[in-house]
Amino acid sequence: MDGVSAIAKILRMEGVDFIGCVPYQPLLEAAAIADIRPLIFRQEGTGIHMVDGYSRVTNGQRIGVFMMQNGPGAENGFGGVAQAYAESVPILLLPAGMARERRGVHPNFYPARSYETITKWSEEINMVERVPELMRRAFTKLRSGRPGPVLLEIPQDVATGEFPDAELDYTPPPWMRQAGDPELVRRAAQALLTAQRPIIHAGQGALYAEATDELVQVAEFLQAPVMTTLPGKSAFPETHPLSVGASGPSTTLGVHRFLTRADLVFGVGCSFTRSFFAVPIPPGKTIVHTTNDEDAINKDYRCDYPVPGDTKLVLQQLLDALKAESGGPRATDRVLQDEIQSTKAEWIAQWIPKLTATSKPINPYRVVWDLMHTVDSDNVIVTHESGSAREYMVPFWEARHPRSFIGWGKSTQLGYSLGLAMGAKMAAPHKQVINVMGDLAFGTVGLDVETAVRCEIPILTIVLNNSYMSIYDNSRFPVALEKYNVKTLSGQFSEVAQAMGAYSEKIAEPQEIVPAIRRGLAAVDAGRPTVLEFITCDEGEFSKFSFG
């Protein structure tokens, strides 16, 4: 067999049953022969976003795989990989490359070298005989430590090179998790028990480790409020009486109130990265930090009690240590829980005029609010888009179950939500999957709605169309705005979606929001990708707070 056939057989051994691509490269045919379904996208970025969403929703237990064409395909995929790298998502990338004898010859593109800065590991299969060895190493990287994209370039001559059938010796490598140092766990437990007003700051590491149950147990043991990061949203059920919500550029009053007054912040599966997309940790806090990425410890904030290790294993150790140090859990703090609920009620009351607005054009907050109260919250996966859609959704959407909400930031490429939703549906076909995006984002990637139609991936896309860029304050470019009207956009997106074979509607009346959503969900349940375009107003007010 040839090199790509050996790769395809290994992918099947790893349980891969589909692969994203924009043709052509030799692995496509080899994959099909091995019963791996090729999914052809309109552009590489959306296809990479799709396998990204697949890996996220499976918590990396199943790995999304994408292959790129030699030259322009590998070049075009750069942005999608950069997004996955920023978000710490484990995906396998298999770009075709030039023959080894052409390396370094202008203008040939060399993926393994060019992608080094945005992958966890980037290597070339430099000999066909090394296919099993390097594929084993790639999956080992994907199953250990902090998640991230892994790239293996397939040179043209390696793809067609002869690989002896008898030498295909491959066994999928196991997951590798590390528990915490017992002494560091003990010190962290003592610090948590000594704190007067601790808060838990949970990141997406809790999701990848599938540690929600342990997180709930620790929070209840300590009677500590829990906030999540933007990518960590849904790691802790937001219906829980100790939940104060998710943090991001826009956040909740609960996050602001309980974080600012906390004396200790317990970071669980987070990076504590200073970012526009992360709430800053106010000064003067004791910090306890558990993460599987040692580079995150003492990166942006001084860590008083580090505990490197797998989030699930460390939380299990911590529960044992807390019991040993204290004798038992704290009594339910009714005063605290009542304050959390009253804080939420106070905050919602401030926003209810926008959340239930009857004005025209439709207020986008009303769309989000009605959507949340129409879907089956126990059987849904939703994701936001970059820009205003993120600000409208993240604070107010109530995530009840792990991975029911896909939050993202750090890198914010327009159109990411469409591919994420498609990947989520591939990973969880029984779920209703919804992405909420703005008109500019749809204009960036909307043609891949046709991919969803052709590949029979029934998702619901909500387009908030105000024909304007609301996220950017006018003070950023007053001259450009006055002279050239740079914030104004246009487009008839429901018509575009219909032309591509999707079910679509355009909604301009507030009272039609819920009926349209119900029709859209019915279309999705019948197997038809759906786009609902809501004509909305320019809404530039967001739930933001100063953290000092």
Q: Is the pLDDT of residue 527 over 90?
A: yes
pLDDT at 486: 82
pLDDT at 228: 98
DSSP category for residue 486: T
Average pLDDT over residues 501-521: 98
Give the pLDDT confidence of 117-161 residue by residue, as tens digits.
Answer: 999 999 999 999 999 999 999 999 999 999 999 999 999 999 999
pLDDT at 409: 87
pLDDT at 101: 83
pLDDT at 23: 85
CA distance 416 to 421: 9
Q: Is the pLDDT of residue 99 over 90?
A: no
Q: Is the pLDDT of residue 548 over 80?
A: no
On average, the pLDDT of the chain sits at: 96
Of the candidates 453, 407, 457, the one whose C-alpha atom is nearest the C-alpha of residue 428 is 457
Helix (H) or strand (E) holding 65, with range, is strand 64-68
- Report percent pLDDT > 90 for the chain: 91
Residues 6 or more apart whose Cβ sits within 8 Å of residue 375: 382, 432, 434, 517, 521
For the domain covering 182-338, report its CATH number. 3.40.50.1220
How many CB atoms neighbour CB 175 within 10 A? 12
CA distance 54 to 447: 20
Looking at the domain covering 3-167, what would its CATH class be?
alpha beta
pLDDT at 469: 82
Architecture of domain 357-535: 3-Layer(aba) Sandwich (3.40)
Give the pLDDT confidence of 28-87 residue by residue, as tens digits.
Answer: 999 999 999 999 999 999 999 999 999 999 999 999 999 999 999 999 999 999 999 999
pLDDT at 263: 98
3-state secondary structure 502-544: CEEEEECCHHHHHHHHHHHHHHHHCCCCEEEEEEECCCCCCCC
Say yes or no: do domains 182-338 and 357-535 share a fold: yes
Domain coordinates in residue numbering, the chain: 3-167, 182-338, 357-535
pLDDT at 261: 97
Give the pLDDT confidence of 178-194 residue by residue, as tens digits.
Answer: 999 999 999 999 999 99
Joined together, the tokens standing for residue 404 give 């029911």
CA distance 8 to 14: 10
Give the pLDDT confidence of 422-442 residue by residue, as tens digits.
Answer: 999 999 999 999 999 999 999
pLDDT at 468: 81
Which residue blocks in 14-170 are alpha helix, DSSP H?
27-33, 44-57, 72-76, 78-86, 111-114, 131-142, 156-159
Average pLDDT over residues 287-299: 97
Q: In Å, what is the CA distance from 302 to each residue of 265, 282, 285, 314, 481?
A: 12, 12, 9, 20, 42
Q: Is the pLDDT of residue 166 over 90?
A: no
Give the pLDDT confidence of 335-393 residue by residue, as tens digits.
Answer: 999 999 999 999 999 999 999 999 999 999 999 999 999 999 999 999 999 999 999 99
pLDDT at 100: 82
Q: Is the pLDDT of residue 105 over 90?
A: no
